[in-house]
Every structure is written in C-alpha cells, then in structure tokens.
C-alpha cells in the first residue's frame, strides 16, 4: 500500500515537472532549456572608488549599454582598489584582460606623452563650456587618438572632473610658498616637472597611498579636485586648500585597440550610442559633486580655503612655462601640433 502511495507521488511530481516544462512562463524551466544567449560581459576598471565622478560615468554607461542592447551586453565595473593602481589598469587594457578603463593623464602620460597636454597649467579655456568645446574638437581628438593608438589603446572619451585644488600645511600664494614643499604627484614624470617649475619637491605615488603619506608626514601636500579630496578624506590631514584654477583634472576612457577594431557593427553602434551625450551628462555630475563636496569639506571646519587672485595666478603661469618645453621634448612633433591646436582653440575662446 505504502509502495503504491510512493509511486503515485513520484508520478505526480514527474507530471508536474513535465507540465511546467511545457509552460513558457516558468523561470525554473527557462533555466533548464535556455533559449536566450548568455549576455556578453564588458569589464570596466576605474581609477576611483564608488561614488566618484568616474563611477558615475561608468554606472550611466552600464545603464545605457544594457538598455540599448536589451541586456545582451552587461558592463562589470571594478572600482579602484579591486584590481590595481592606475598604471596596472592601463596595462590590463593593453593586454586585453579588461575591455575598458579610465586612464588619467597624470599617470598615463608616462606611456602616452601626448596625454601630458592635460597636465600643462593655464593652457585650456577657463569656462566649463569653452573647455568642453575644446575637448570635442575633431582635429585635436585625431591627434590625441594617434598617441593612444601607439600604446595599443582606443581613446573613447575625455572626461573633465573639475579644477585641481592644492592642499598643504600652508597657503600657497606664490611659487615661493612651494619652496621645499614635498608635493605628492601622480606618477607621470611631466606631472612632477610641473611642480618642479614652481619650486616644489615632487613625490610621485599611487592614489591609494596618499592619505597615509599625508598623515605620516611623508609628503606635505597634494593636488586633486574637491570631490576626490572629500572622498579620500585628504582634508582630515591637511590644513589649507588653495584654489589656483590652473589645471583641470581630465581623465580618458580607453579600450583595448584590437578589441575595439574587432567589434561587429551592432556592438560598435551600441558603444557609440551609449557614449553620445555623455560629456553633457558628466559635466553636470562633476559640477554637482565638486560643489556639494566642497561645501561638506568647508562645513567640517577641518581646513581653510584660499582662492588665488588673477595677479597671483599670473606668477604661477609664468613660472610654469618651461613645463611646455618638457612636454614638447617628450611628445615630439605630434606634441607640438597638439599644443598649437589647444593654444589656437583657447585663444578663440578668449584664454591663454
Ligand atoms: O590623484 C590621483 O592619482 C587620482 N585622482 C583622481 C581624481 N582620479 C584618479 C587618479 O588616479
């Protein structure tokens, strides 16, 4: 009797499974008989932590790609710290281990001398809008693209992340104030060269080591946009912020060159459609992040803030001009054309 009961139970279970196998709507069964192809994964490595400008760019890009491809492409985001420091991330893209990454000129100019153009102070237009127009100039982009391609990379976008602010244990109102100051710089030699023109003692190091180095007194100051100072808590271990409006932090979004060239038309279209409109999106984001976080830093009461006057800025501008020669030495003839193009665009916009 018991055996007959068990037999009936097994039969009921099998029938149930069979019936549900015939149903299109049952998730468990869809899993057993998949008719959808697995989504393609694009790995995207960031030089910044969650909640940063780069993270906002990547999250929006992920959302757009997923929507455009109807889920056929999924972007996996690796925030800073999960797979390496900036030079490692660029190397991973060059080796084809990740598809996309952020590559900041302050680091990548070591590999791509043309990227050093973004490290030169008082060169690009002052207003956000004019700067955006300059970064979108097709002649400039073609010249830059060649530099990125020589390194096995495809330059996909340039992302301005806000004005660099100097933080230190003192206000920096003239190049004399930099005298003997150990300034942490990003790792590209040209970045160090710029601070040397002002009399500082540059100390190149990865982003992840800056907080401890400031706290332990291994360096006296550093330079980054307000949002980064706040999210990395540099304001906790520094006493004065100086706003020189000398250089913007501009990051590049890159992919592996061969991967990009081998994308089929459909994937290339999704990629290009997702990128369209991103400059306007991220400009709005970076402005909000920088404004809000600067406000938070000031409210914390842990650090004071000084803005340079135009006369003070002029002294820094003049002192920094030899860095343009260092750029030209590194970036050669193409660098010269890049510099001339930026100068001419900036002049048209009423700067430089
Ligand atoms: O200072 C740095 O190294 C970093 N700063 C920012 C704002 N983004 C990434 C970069 O590596």
Q: How do residues 107-142 score in pLDDT, each as one tens digit?
A: 999 999 999 999 999 999 999 889 999 999 999 999
DSSP annotation of 123 reads -
Instruction: Report whether residue 225 contacts ligand 1, using a CB cutoff of 6 Å.
Output: yes
316 lines ligand 1 (CB under 6 A): no
SS3 string, 272-334, reads: HHHHCCHHHHHHHHHHHHHHHHHHHHHHHCCCEEEECCHHHHHHHHHHHCHHHHHHHHHHHHH
> Is residue 207 within 6 Å of ligand 1 at its C-beta?
yes
Q: How much distance in Å is there from the Cα of 207 to the middle of ligand 1? A: 6
Question: Ligand 1 centre and the CA of 164: distance in Å?
Answer: 10
> Do residues 278 and 191 touch, judged by C-beta distance below 8 A?
no
- pLDDT in the model for residue 19: 32
Residue 183 has pLDDT above 90, yes or no: yes
Share the mean pLDDT of the chain: 91
The verdict on the CB of residue 55 being under 6 Å from ligand 1 is no
Using the predicted structure, report yes or no on whether residue 16 has a pLDDT greater than 60.
no
User: Is 347 a residue whose pLDDT tops 50?
Assistant: yes
- Tens digits of per-residue pLDDT, 30-86? 556 666 778 999 999 999 999 999 999 999 999 999 999 999 999 999 999 999 999
Distance between CA 189 and CA 204 in Å, rounded? 8
Which pLDDT does position 37 carry in this prediction? Answer: 79
**Residue 10 pLDDT exceeds 60:** no
Tell me the pLDDT band of 17, cut-offs 50, 70 and 90. Answer: very low
For residue 246, report the distance from its CA to the centre of ligand 1, in Å.
Answer: 16
Closest C-alpha residue for ligand 1 atom 2: 207
Of residues 21 and 177, the one with the higher pLDDT is 177
Strands annotated E in the chain: 40-45, 73-78, 100-103, 153-163, 165-168, 182-185, 201-204, 222-224, 240-243, 248-256, 304-307
Q: Does the beta carbon of 84 sit less than 6 angstroms from any atom of ligand 1?
A: no
Dump pLDDT digits (tens) for 136-171.
Answer: 999 999 999 999 999 999 999 999 999 999 999 999
CA distances 64 to 2, 69, 135, 276, Å, are 59, 8, 22, 10
Mean pLDDT of 253-278: 97
Looking from the CA of residue 187, the nearest atom of ligand 1 is: 3
Cα-to-centroid distance, 11 and ligand 1 (Å): 64
State the closest ligand 1 atom to the C-alpha of 54, by its place in the atom list counted from 1. Answer: 8
Percent of the chain with pLDDT over 90: 87
Q: Report domain extents, the chain.
A: 40-348
Which atom of ligand 1 is nearest to 225's Cα? 7
CB of residue 124 inside a 6 A radius of ligand 1: no
Residue 184 alpha carbon, nearest atom of ligand 1:
1
Q: Residue 36's pLDDT is what?
A: 72
Q: 119 and 247 in contact (C-beta within 8 Å)? A: yes
**pTM tops 0.75:** yes
Q: Give the pLDDT confidence score for residue 30 in this predicted structure.
A: 55
What pLDDT score was predicted for residue 161? 98
Ligand 1 pocket, mutate which of 45, 46, 47 (most atoms under 8 A from CB): 47
Supply the residue whose CA is at minimum distance from atom 3 of ligand 1: 207
Residue 125 vs residue 26, higher pLDDT = 125
| Helix axes 53-68 and 278-300, enclosed angle (nearest 10) | 150
Q: Which residues of 179-209 are buried (b: 16+ CB within 10 A; e: fewer)?
A: eebbbbbbbbbbbbbbbbbbebebbbbbbee
342 has pLDDT over 90:
yes
Query: Ligand 1 centroid to 120 CA: how many Å?
Result: 16
5 vs 135, higher pLDDT = 135
- The pLDDT tens digits for 204-256 are 999 999 999 999 999 999 999 999 999 999 999 999 999 999 999 999 999 99
CATH architecture of the domain with residue range 40-348: 3-Layer(aba) Sandwich (3.40)
Confidence at residue 352, expressed as pLDDT on a 0 to 100 scale: 47
> 70 C-alpha to center of ligand 1: Å?
33
For position 24, what pLDDT does the model report? 39
Tell me the average pLDDT across 1-29.
41
pLDDT band at 182 (very low <50, low <70, confident <90, very high): very high
pLDDT bracket for residue 349 (50, 70, 90): confident
Res 348: pLDDT: 85
Average pLDDT for 264-278: 97
DSSP letters for 228-246:
HHHHTTGGGG-SEEEE---
**Cα-to-chain-centroid distance, residue 163:** 14
Instruction: Looking at the CA of residue 206, tell me the nearest atom of ligand 1.
Output: 3
Q: Is 228 in the pocket of ligand 1 (CB under 6 A)?
A: yes
Share of residues in the chain with pLDDT > 70 (%): 89
Query: How many angstroms does the Cα of residue 224 sit away from the middle of ligand 1?
Result: 7
Paired with 202 in beta bridges are: 183
């Amino acid at each position: 009797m018991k055996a007959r009961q068990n037999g009936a139970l097994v039969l009921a279970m099998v029938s149930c499974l069979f019936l549900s196998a015939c149903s299109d709507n049952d998730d468990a069964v869809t899993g057993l008989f998949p008719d959808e192809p697995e989504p393609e994964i694009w790995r995207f490595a960031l030089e910044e932590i969650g909640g940063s400008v780069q993270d906002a760019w990547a999250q929006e890009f992920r959302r757009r790609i997923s929507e455009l491809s109807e889920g056929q492409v999924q972007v996996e985001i690796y925030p800073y710290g999960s797979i390496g420091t900036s030079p490692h991330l660029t190397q991973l893209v060059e080796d084809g281990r990740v598809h996309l990454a952020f590559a900041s000129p302050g680091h990548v100019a070591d590999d791509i001398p043309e990227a050093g153009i973004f490290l030169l102070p008082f060169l690009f237009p002052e207003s956000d809008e004019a700067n955006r127009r300059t970064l979108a100039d097709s002649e400039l982009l073609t010249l830059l693209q060649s530099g990125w391609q020589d390194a096995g990379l495809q330059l996909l976008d340039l992302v301005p992340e806000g004005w660099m602010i100097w933080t230190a244990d003192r206000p920096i109102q003239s190049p004399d104030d930099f005298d003997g100051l150990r300034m942490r710089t990003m790792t590209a030699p040209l970045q160090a060269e710029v601070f040397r023109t002002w009399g500082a003692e540059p100390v190149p190091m990865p982003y992840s080591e800056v907080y401890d180095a400031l706290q332990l007194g291994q360096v006296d100051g550093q330079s980054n946009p307000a949002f980064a100072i706040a999210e990395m808590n540099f304001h906790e271990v520094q006493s004065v912020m100086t706003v020189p409006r000398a250089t913007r932090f501009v990051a590049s979004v890159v992919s592996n060159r061969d991967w990009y060239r081998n994308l089929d038309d459909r994937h290339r279209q999704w990629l290009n459609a997702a990128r369209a409109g991103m400059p306007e999106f991220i400009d709005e984001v970076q402005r909000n992040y920088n404004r809000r976080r600067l406000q938070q830093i000031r409210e914390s009461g842990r650090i004071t803030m000084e803005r340079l006057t135009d006369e003070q800025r002029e002294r820094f501008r003049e002192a920094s001009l030899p860095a343009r020669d260092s750029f030209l030495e590194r970036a050669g003839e193409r660098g010269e054309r890049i510099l001339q193009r930026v100068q001419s665009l900036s002049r048209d916009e009423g700067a430089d």
